[in-house]
Amino acid sequence: MRAFLDMLHWFAGDQIRNVAAIGGNIMTASPISDLNPILMANESIATFRLHSRAKDRQVLMDQSFFPKYRTTCAEKGEVLLSVHLPFNGKDEYIKAYKQSKRREDDIAIVNAAMRVVFHPGTCKVLKFVAAFGGMAATSVMPEKTMQNMIGRMWTDDLIDNFAEWISEDFPLSLDAPGGMVEYREALAASLFFKFFLYVKNCLVERGVMDEKLAERDLSALHEAAHMDRQLKGKQTWQEVKVEQPPLDKVGRSLQHVAGELHATGEAVYVDDIPQCSSELYLCLVTSIRPHAFIREVDVSLASTSPGFVTYVDHRDVGGSNNIAIYHAMEEVFATEKVTCIGQVIGAVVADSQARAQRAAQLVKIDYEDISPVVITIEEAVSEKSFRSPIHKVVKGNAEETMTSCDQVIEGEVRTAGQEHFYMETQVCLAVPKDGEEMEVYSSNQDPEALQKTSSAVLGVGQNKVQVRVKRLGGGFGGKATRFLLLSSPVIVAAAKCGRPVRCMLTRQEDMSITGTRHPFLGKYKIGCTKEGRLVSLVLDLFSNGGNTQDSSMYVMAKAMINSDNCYCIPNMLIRGTVCKTNIVSNTAFRGFGAPQAMFIAESWITAVAERLGLSTEKVRETNLYRAGDLTHFNQVLETSNARRCWEECMKISQFDKRRIEVDAYNSKNRWRKRGLACVPTKFAIGIKEYRCQAGALINIYTDGSVYLTHGGTEMGQGLHTKMIQIASRCLGIPVSRIHISETSTTHVPNGGTTAGSLGSDMNGMAVKAACDEIVSRLAPIRKKFPELSWDKLILQAYMERVSLSATGFYRIPDMYSNWDVHTGTVKGRHSNYYTYGAAVSEVEVDCLTGDHVVLQTDIVMDVGRSLNPAIDIGQIEGGFVQGYGMFTMEEPLHAPSGHLLTVGPGAYKIPGFGDCPRQFNVHLLRNSENDKAIYSSKGIGEPPFFLSASVLYAIKSAVGSARNDSGIFGPFRMDAPATAERIRMACGDNFIKQHKHHADEKEERNLTPWSVTA
């Protein structure tokens, strides 16, 4: 019963457990059911009842209970009445285990329950019963293993025997559904080892066995999941000066202005807008082939479906079917061919969502396949399938100076994609008006782009398209461009039908259509002195851009700008290549290529340290930038707080003391290891110069209330809150008198995109400019009537016919770029300034499963003079946890045919509460100034993201200790994300070696793997 209760704790979440039933879980017959293996191992009895039968039927829950996938032995008409779960006896032990991608609220990769019964008072096996999930199409029992165990003594030789037997019972094929074949096989053996040690320890405690467990082996019995799960944290920041008036809220922790609306569910998003009686619903029709000509689209069957109104495709576009995304053209509807699964071909319009979705399924498309189909970066390199041009940056002479270096290290490392997983999926509502006008409600980060694109698609002027954005339910870059895939068809349909049309993608549709963060492959050659001073770097970056260009060239440029992270290298040669593949186009994501490049940088830093036998911290600190240094993009660092953040983080975290403690812990524990790492970051704040502009509008009404709007979009990051704080300071009035309703192209034209961590910088300055204009107009009246209150001052201004409406505009000065991507010469000022930070993370790794827990993270972040410390710290913590997903958990997987396998929250996991650091400390760097942004603040949305790489490098450190215990020394590769599978397989113990051997044998059969990483 204890095993059953323990497993229930990890079964789904509280909400699901509160409405679920054990009987339902049994009859679902999932091959990864968490409960069925326990019931089978415990030889439970299921009772079935048939209304036409007098007597109930009792069935033993064994191998035959689940004859095939998702099927039980229940006869037609039978219902499961009860399950009898026997209590265990004195000489009987049972334990259940579960391994998943995410510890909480996740399905199992492998689960197991094992039960052993001994001859009374001995350690001789009388019966051994085990059941596993995730090893076949049903919950299965290793029958040969169970038989072989009978009569054996519970001694160490069982461990290797079991590993061999279980491989024979569960011979997983390399193309087995679910993938991770080697890992699953190793898990089965590793879980038995845990069970073996657990039982042996029980027998020792009972006095049945004399030989105690080795002290270092006891760690295998410890479960990090059962550690103190209370999350704790500490935040510190620089308070405003004592002389700052209480009315002035800049620099104070003001609550998010819509926080209460979010918390209560009253905040209105696009799909909350009430439907009107004439409204229609749209459902996209997308490609199911990765590379093919479209021979015919047959809508005849769909047109007979109830509620069907029309079908729209490229023939219905009144303007242009080609739209510009980052200056690259892309089709709204595919015309002659498709280049990925999920590409939009057309759309069905019906009178309801359900009917539109049903009709869309009935559209038949005839394809003619085209070769080759390119999915991965490696395939693209083989096929030379690249976007042009290949970018190049040169600093010094990297290849020549490499020859004089004391050490030269070569290697490569990879990062996967990452799904945005915003809470609100892509959504659009288009309402046609008279005179060819179109009003568009959309969840997007760039209303200006939507206005431009809509006018091009409709063939009308931009002045006839009004875009309104109240708030986004998350964006993270995923709504910077790819929202156009949905908005354009919706607008075409609304124009064709003359009626409002709405569409909100399902989570599965959104993940299948909109793309992810760019996967990257980095190949490096790094030269250094014997002291660890970096001298020369040759770096080749490859990204998987997908089937269209989208923002891929700009993402690669940003990656190259940030490819030095925080390190000064005199000689650099960097080449950046965007791969053209047959997966959905990848796009912007928080960091915009920088996290991938900085991760690759930390990989060669680690490689240098491993080669020289130095600590990674020593190598990092030796090469940190200083003020006055020149970057590889030919920009002088006027200031640099990289070293300040580093030193303060090392001190606050007590790094040296904890390093000694971690080493001591590892020396005493074989199967649980701890790791500690400190990672810095330098994030370049800047985007293409023409985008470095913003506008704002302020209207003051005769009662003294203020309506403020600007070109930025609110996506939960607190932009509106900061803008109100800025306006409050400028006008000298309480924040309660200022209101922001929405972002609209009618109020602020040409507003640009909210991206690049520049939302507060640019819009804040535009708001200040508008407010300053109002203040200057009011100054003569204030001078005449100094005693007037704000309300009376405004009324007096109205009476004197002073305009109480003003616009503000701002452009970042001196931003220009002259980069010859062919020769690699760079001139100009690509970045307005840099945001710095450092993080120390400590982890504990279960070397038998690959599980880990983050024990503590300390962050020091340079945000200049924070406009709102609470919001900034929230951005730091949120960015860190989202980055933690990229570096340890999230990995979109494709079938070799191009189908995205990790679709929906069941298959794709993002971090949960249980994945947050147990102790999470954030400190804002004090006395940091920045004359390049509003009130000396700094952009904060993207810079903290990369600091979560400290977790990956802490994991790598822990795995290194495990490898050393297995007699494996020297450098090893750790790609991102460091999933439980990668962690476990990197540990290199005997279980891994044994199943690597089996995998090598299987590979000789030339089977296609179940999944690939793009």
DSSP string, 884-897: HHHHHT----B-TT
- CA–CA distances in Å: residue 868 to residues 458, 663, 718, 874: 42, 39, 9, 10
Tell me the C-alpha distance between 941 and 833, whole Å.
14
Residue 445: phi and psi, rounded to 5, are -95, -5
* Region for residue 222 given its phi and psi (left: phi exceeds 0; alpha: psi -120 to 50; beta: otherwise): beta
Which residues are annotated as part of the binding site?
11, 34, 80, 98, 445, 476, 590, 592, 756
Tell me the C-alpha distance between 976 and 890, whole Å.
9
Per the CB < 8 A criterion, the answer to whether 584 and 552 are in contact is: no
Q: Is the pLDDT of residue 538 over 90?
A: yes
Q: Is the pLDDT of residue 659 over 80?
A: yes
pLDDT tens, position by position, 510-536: 999 999 999 999 999 999 999 999 999
Residue with tokens 């200049």, as numbered in its chain: 864
Which residues are annotated as part of the binding site for FAD?
11, 34, 80, 98
Element (H, E) at 449: helix 447-458
- Say what the pLDDT of residue 728 is: 98
pLDDT band at 6 (very low <50, low <70, confident <90, very high): confident
Tell me the C-alpha distance between 162 and 48, whole Å.
35
3-state SS track over 626-671: CCCCECCCCCECCCCCHHHHHHHHHHHCCHHHHHHHHHHHHHHCCC
Tell me the C-alpha distance between 173 and 181, whole Å.
7
Higher pLDDT, 602 or 828: 602
Residue 497: phi and psi, rounded to 5, are -85, -20
Q: Is the pLDDT of residue 201 over 90?
A: yes
Tell me what percent of the residues of the chain surpass a pLDDT of 70.
98
Q: Is the pLDDT of residue 677 over 50?
A: yes
Tokens coding 606: 């680690």
Per the CB < 8 A criterion, the answer to whether 314 and 343 are in contact is: no
Tell me the C-alpha distance between 568 and 46, whole Å.
68
- CA–CA distances in Å: residue 771 to residues 67, 730, 938: 73, 6, 21
pLDDT tens, position by position, 861-919: 999 999 999 999 999 999 999 999 999 999 999 999 999 999 999 999 999 999 999 99
Cβ neighbours of residue 484 closer than 8 Å, sequence gap 6 or more: 323, 325, 449, 450, 453
> Taking residues 594-615, what's their average pLDDT?
98
pLDDT tens, position by position, 769-815: 999 999 999 999 999 999 999 999 999 999 999 999 999 999 999 88
Residue with tokens 């995730």, as numbered in its chain: 134
Whether omega for the bond prior to residue 680 falls within 30 degrees of 0, making it cis, is no
Higher pLDDT, 439 or 173: 439
Q: Is the pLDDT of residue 426 over 90?
A: yes
Per the CB < 8 A criterion, the answer to whether 331 and 339 are in contact is: no
- Say what the pLDDT of residue 226 is: 45
CA 105, 958, 526 angle in degrees (round to 5)? 115
- CA–CA distances in Å: residue 83 to residues 89, 789, 953: 19, 76, 47
- Say what the pLDDT of residue 993 is: 85
Tell me the C-alpha distance between 411 and 670, whole Å.
29
Residue 325: phi and psi, rounded to 5, are -120, 115
Which residues are annotated as part of the binding site for Mo-molybdopterin?
445, 476, 590, 756
Residue with tokens 């509106």, as numbered in its chain: 720
Tokens coding 329: 């053209």
Helices 484-497 & 447-458, crossing angle to 10 degrees?
40
Instruction: Give the number of other CB atoms < 10 A from CB of residue 970.
Output: 9
Helices 594-612 & 949-965, crossing angle to 10 degrees?
30
Per the CB < 8 A criterion, the answer to whether 686 and 815 are in contact is: yes
Q: Is the pLDDT of residue 293 over 90?
A: yes
Cβ neighbours of residue 514 closer than 8 Å, sequence gap 6 or more: 420, 426, 478, 482, 485, 505, 584, 587
Cβ neighbours of residue 403 closer than 8 Å, sequence gap 6 or more: none
pLDDT tens, position by position, 452-498: 999 999 999 999 999 999 999 999 999 999 999 999 999 999 999 99
Residue with tokens 């006869």, as numbered in its chain: 75
Summary mean pLDDT of the chain: 95
> Taking residues 276-280, what's their average pLDDT?
95
Helices 790-799 & 759-784, crossing angle to 10 degrees?
70
- Say what the pLDDT of residue 13 is: 77
Tell me the C-alpha distance between 885 and 415, whole Å.
12
Nearest to 134 by CA among 165, 169, 110: 110
pLDDT band at 225 (very low <50, low <70, confident <90, very high): very low
Q: Is the pTM of this model over 0.85?
A: yes
- Say what the pLDDT of residue 399 is: 95
* DSSP letter, residue 140: B
Q: Which three-class secondary structure state does DSSP give residue 340?
A: coil
- Say what the pLDDT of residue 227 is: 54
Nearest to 339 by CA among 586, 512, 582: 582
Tell me the C-alpha distance between 475 and 256, whole Å.
17
- Say what the pLDDT of residue 3 is: 80
Per the CB < 8 A criterion, the answer to whether 619 and 612 are in contact is: yes
pLDDT band at 2 (very low <50, low <70, confident <90, very high): confident
Which residue type sits at 418?
A: Q
Instruction: Find the Cα–Cα–Cα–Cα dihedral 926, 929, 932, 934, rounded to 10°.
Output: 70
Nearest to 268 by CA among 574, 677, 714: 714
Tell me the C-alpha distance between 866 and 721, whole Å.
13
* DSSP letter, residue 937: B
Tokens coding 757: 């961590």
Q: Is the pLDDT of residue 343 over 60?
A: yes
Q: Is the pLDDT of residue 997 over 90?
A: no
- Say what the pLDDT of residue 511 is: 98
pLDDT band at 15 (very low <50, low <70, confident <90, very high): confident
Strand partners, 49: 79
- Helices then strands, each counted (H, E), the chain: 27, 35
Tell me the C-alpha distance between 895 and 881, whole Å.
28
Q: Is the pLDDT of residue 215 over 80?
A: yes
Per the CB < 8 A criterion, the answer to whether 162 and 146 are in contact is: no
Q: Which three-class secondary structure state does DSSP give residue 483?
A: coil
Domains of the chain: 2-213 (3.30.390.50), 259-268+693-811 (3.30.365.10), 275-371+423-474+479-513 (3.90.1170.50), 520-687+823-978 (3.30.365.10)
Q: Is the pLDDT of residue 1004 over 80?
A: no
* DSSP letter, residue 212: P
Q: Determine the distance from the C-alpha atom of residue 408 to the mean position of all C-alpha atoms in its chain, rounded to a whole number.
A: 34
pLDDT band at 11 (very low <50, low <70, confident <90, very high): confident
Catalytically annotated residues: 942
Q: Is the pLDDT of residue 607 over 80?
A: yes
Which residue type sits at 595?
A: P
- Say what the pLDDT of residue 996 is: 64
End-to-end CA distance of the chain: 44
Q: Is the pLDDT of residue 53 over 80?
A: yes
Instruction: Find the Cα–Cα–Cα–Cα dihedral 569, 832, 636, 651, rounded to 10°.
Output: -60
